Amino acid sequence: MRIVLVGPPGAGKGTQAAFLAKNLSIPHISTGDLFRANISQGTELGKRAKSYMDAGNLVPDEVTIGMARDRMAQADAEGGFLLDGFPRNVGQAEALDGMLRGEGVALDAVLDLEVPEDEVVKRIAGRRVCRNSSAHVYHVVYTPPKAEGVCDECGGELYQRDDDSEETVRKRLEVYHTQTEPIIDYYKAQGLVVTISALGKVAEVTARAMEALQVDEAAQG
């Protein structure tokens, strides 16, 4: 399957993507994670992206689209993928359509995670991420690690993202409403959008997502 996950910052896209990608046996491709990996490796792309991310703005399309295209061209994404954080504006959505058309394939669904803004703020304020793997995400209240500051999965150090400060989160939400939300209408016009509530326990949201995507139990990995 080829799926786009959309929702405000802190909606739980990364959390859900980890479970959905495993269930559907497709790679989880997060442009935010790709940027953060480039930043920690000190690449030119990472240096360029960091100032935009720290300010809560989108990284320019000419950087982002090429990076997403390169990742989607890797062998593991041949049979499908779950995109998290891309596309993030209508220009990126049009570029993605062009890439897929060129390959003779198409998206199957756009999964839209709905969460009230006050919940998003609480989720981001308590988020802690493992330095070893961005797939290991915790929340100090909702999904705490067994030992404070230590990843249950690999023992890595948990940290708070630089762009999770209150001021930057406010900017990221504004950018989401003005630049990213319009892609929902763009995809509605193609009949691709399924909207679910992302409230409730993580496993409940995953079950809701699988049902909304109408995934046959037998097709699950």
Q: Which of 2, 13, 71, 123 is catalytic?
A: 13
Does the annotation count 22 as an active-site position?
no
Nearest distance from residue 14's CB to ligand AP5, in Å? 3
Q: Which residue is nearest to ligand AP5 (CB)?
A: 32
Angstrom distance (rounded) from CA 187 to CA 196: 15
DSSP letters of 106-132? ---EEEEEE--HHHHHHHHHTEEEESS
Which positions lie near ligand AP5, rule CB under 6 A?
Answer: 7, 9-15, 30-32, 35, 52-53, 56-59, 64, 85-86, 88, 92, 123, 126-127, 137-139, 142-143, 163, 172, 200-202, 205
Dmax (CA) of the chain: 48
Q: Which of 2, 36, 71, 88 is catalytic?
A: 88
Q: Which residue number, 23 or 143, has a Cβ lying nearer to ligand AP5?
A: 143
Q: Which residue number, 181 or 219, has a Cβ lying nearer to ligand AP5?
A: 181
Q: Which residue number, 66 or 155, has a Cβ lying nearer to ligand AP5?
A: 66
Does the annotation count 71 as an active-site position?
no
Does the annotation count 127 as an active-site position?
yes
Does the annotation count 172 as an active-site position?
yes
Nearest distance from residue 92's CB to ligand AP5, in Å? 6
**Which three-class secondary structure string do you get for 37-104?**
HHHHHCCHHHHHHHHHHHHCCCCCHHHHHHHHHHHHCCHHHCCCEEEECCCCCHHHHHHHHHHHHHHC
Nearest distance from residue 218's CB to ligand AP5, in Å? 27
Q: Which residue number, 104 or 210, has a Cβ lying nearer to ligand AP5?
A: 210
Nearest distance from residue 6's CB to ligand AP5, in Å? 9
Angstrom distance (rounded) from CA 177 to CA 181: 5
Angstrom distance (rounded) from CA 178 to CA 58: 11
Report the amino acid identity of residue 62: E
156 secondary structure, DSSP code:
P
Residues with a known catalytic role: 13, 88, 127, 161, 172
